[in-house]
Amino acid sequence: MSNNPWQRALSQLQKTLELTDTHPDLHHRLKEPDNVVEVNVPVTMDSGETKTFRGYRVQHNNMRGPYKGGLRFHPQVDLDEAKALAFWMTMKNAVIGVPFGGGKGGIEVDPKELSGGELERLTRNFARELAHVIGPEKDVPAPDVGSTAQMMHWIADEYSKHVGEDAPAVVTGKPVEHGGSEGRTEATGYGGGYALEAILVKLGKETGTVAIQGFGNVGLYFAHYAASRGFKIVALSDSKGGIYAPEGIDVSAAETYKKGTGTLLGCAGTDISNEEILALPVDILVPAALENAITKENASHVQAKVILELANGPTTIEADDVLKERGIVVIPDILANAGGVAVSYFEWEQNRAGERWAKDDVLARLKEKMEMAAAKVWNESIEKNITLRDAAYVVALRSLGEVKQG
Ligand code: NAD
C-alpha cells in the first residue's frame, strides 16, 4: 500500500463503505473531489524579479455546507496531498457536526524564505487568484501548516475588495482584531485535549506522560492544555529535532526558549531526533506535525498505549494495522483535531451575525462539541467492535448519507 495520502483516503473510504449501508451514489460522490483549482501566482520579490508560485484549492464536497479547510504554505504541497486533506475535512466536519463540506489548498513555498513584504504580496495575489471560487457561502479557507492569522486577514481584505463589501466570513482563523474568534488560536490543541480526556475516561485511564511531535500552533496549545490538566509533558520536538526530559518539561519555558533560539534543542533534558520521540516510554504519543510520521517501520517501536492524532494523516495504513494488532488505541485525526474547524464555525457564525463571543463561552461550546463527537465515535466503536478510526468514518458517512437522503 502506498503512502500517497489520496490513495489512503480512498482505501479508508472503501473500508468504511463495507462497514455501513450507505447508498453507492455516495461513494461515487466522495471518491473524487467536486473541483480542483490550480493557479500560478506571480510575486514581485524584494530584489525586483518576478517569481511564480504554484497554488491549489481542492473543493472535495459541499453536501453539508460550504467547502471548508486550510491553506498550507509549504515547499512540498502537492495535489494528491491537497485532495486527501480536503477529503479528511469533509469527514471531519461531518464527525464534529458543523454545517461545512471539505476543502483544502496550499501553495508550494517555504514561507520562512520570504520577507514579510514578499509573503504579504504572495498571499494577496493568491487570494485574488482564488476570489472567484471562494466566499462565505461557497468555500471558506483557514490557516494550516505555514500559514497564519495575519495571512487570513490579507485574504479577507483582498476578497472584500473583489466583492466590493466587507466580507470577513470568507476565511476563518483571522486575528481577533480583524473579526477572528476568541479561542481560535488555541482551538485545535485544546480540542484535542478535550477529546483525549473524553476517551481516557471511557478507557478507565487518567492522566499520564506525553510526548508531542510538532511544536507549532497545534502542538504548543495542546501541550499547554495537557500540562494544565496534570499530564506530564516529557518530550517535545519540531522540524529541527526534540528534547526528552523524563522528569517533565516546563511548556512555557520551552515556548520562550524556542522563540529566542529558533529550536528546542538544548532546552531541557536530552536532545533527541524526530524518529526517537515516537519510540519513547510514554503513556500518550501525540503526532502534531505532518503526514506519515508513524509508519510500518516505526509502529512496532511505539511504546505509548494511546495515540492522539493532532496532525492530519500522521499514521500510514500499514502502521494502523500494526498499532491495532498491538492494542494501541488511536484517537483518529478526524476526531482529535476537529477543534480547529469547530471554532472556525463559531467564527463564521459570529461574523455572519455581527457578534463577538467571549473566550470562555467559545471554549465551553468547543468542549461540548468535542465531547459529543468523542462519545458518538466511542459508542460506534463499541457497538460494531471496530477501531475508533473506523468508527469515526462510519459516523461521518452516516451523517453525509442522511443529507443525501434528505
Ligand atoms: P505549524 O506550522 O504551526 O506547526 C508545525 C510544527 O511541526 C512545527 O513545530 C514544525 O517545526 C513541526 N514539524 C515540521 N516537520 C516536522 C517533522 N518532520 N518532525 C517534527 N516536527 C516537524 O502547523 P500546525 O497548524 O500546528 O499544524 C500541525 C498539524 O496539525 C498539521 O498536520 C495540520 O494539518 C494539523 N491541523 C492543524 C489545525 C490548525 O488549526 N492549525 C487544525 C487541524 C489540523
Domains of the chain by residue range: 32-178, 187-336
What is the pLDDT, as a whole number, of residue 406?
45
How many Å lie between the centroid of ligand 1 and the Cα of residue 72? 10
How many Å lie between the centroid of ligand 1 and the Cα of residue 170? 23
Bridge partner list, 153: none
Q: Quick one: CA dihedral 103, 331, 251, 367, positive or negative?
A: positive
Return the exposure string of 26-46: e unless at least 16 CB atoms fall within 10 Å of the residue's CB, then b: beebbeebbebbebebebeee
Q: Which of 139, 141, 160 is nearest to 151 (CA)?
A: 141
Grid look-up 489548498 returns 105
104 a catalytic residue: yes
- pTM here is 0.94
| Bridging pattern class, strands 139-143 and 270-272 | unpaired
Which CATH code of 3.40.50.720, 3.20.20.70, 3.40.50.300, 1.25.40.10 fits the domain covering 187-336? 3.40.50.720
Strand, coil or helix: what is 58?
strand
Q: Is the CB of 216 under 6 A from ligand 1?
A: yes
pLDDT tens string 278-322: 999 999 999 999 889 999 999 999 999 999 999 999 999 899 999
How many Å lie between the centroid of ligand 1 and the Cα of residue 144? 8
C-alpha cell at 163: 466583492
Helix 339-353 with 359-384: angle, nearest 10 deg: 130
Q: How many Å is the Cα radius of gyration of the chain? A: 20
What is the pLDDT, as a whole number, of residue 359?
97
* Best probe residue, ligand 1, of 71, 73, 95, 144 (max atoms within 8 Å of C-beta): 144
Helix 79-96 with 388-405: angle, nearest 10 deg: 80
**Residue 69 DSSP code:** E
* Best probe residue, ligand 1, of 81, 188, 275 (max atoms within 8 Å of C-beta): 188
What is the pLDDT, as a whole number, of residue 404?
53
Helix (H) or strand (E) holding 330: strand 329-331
The answer to whether the 32-178 and 187-336 domains have the same CATH topology is: yes
Question: What number of other Cβ atoms are within 10 A of residue 353's Cβ?
Answer: 10
- Looking at CATH, the fold of the domain delimited by 32-178 is given as Rossmann fold (3.40.50)
- Name residues of the chain where pLDDT drops below 70: 1-2, 404-406
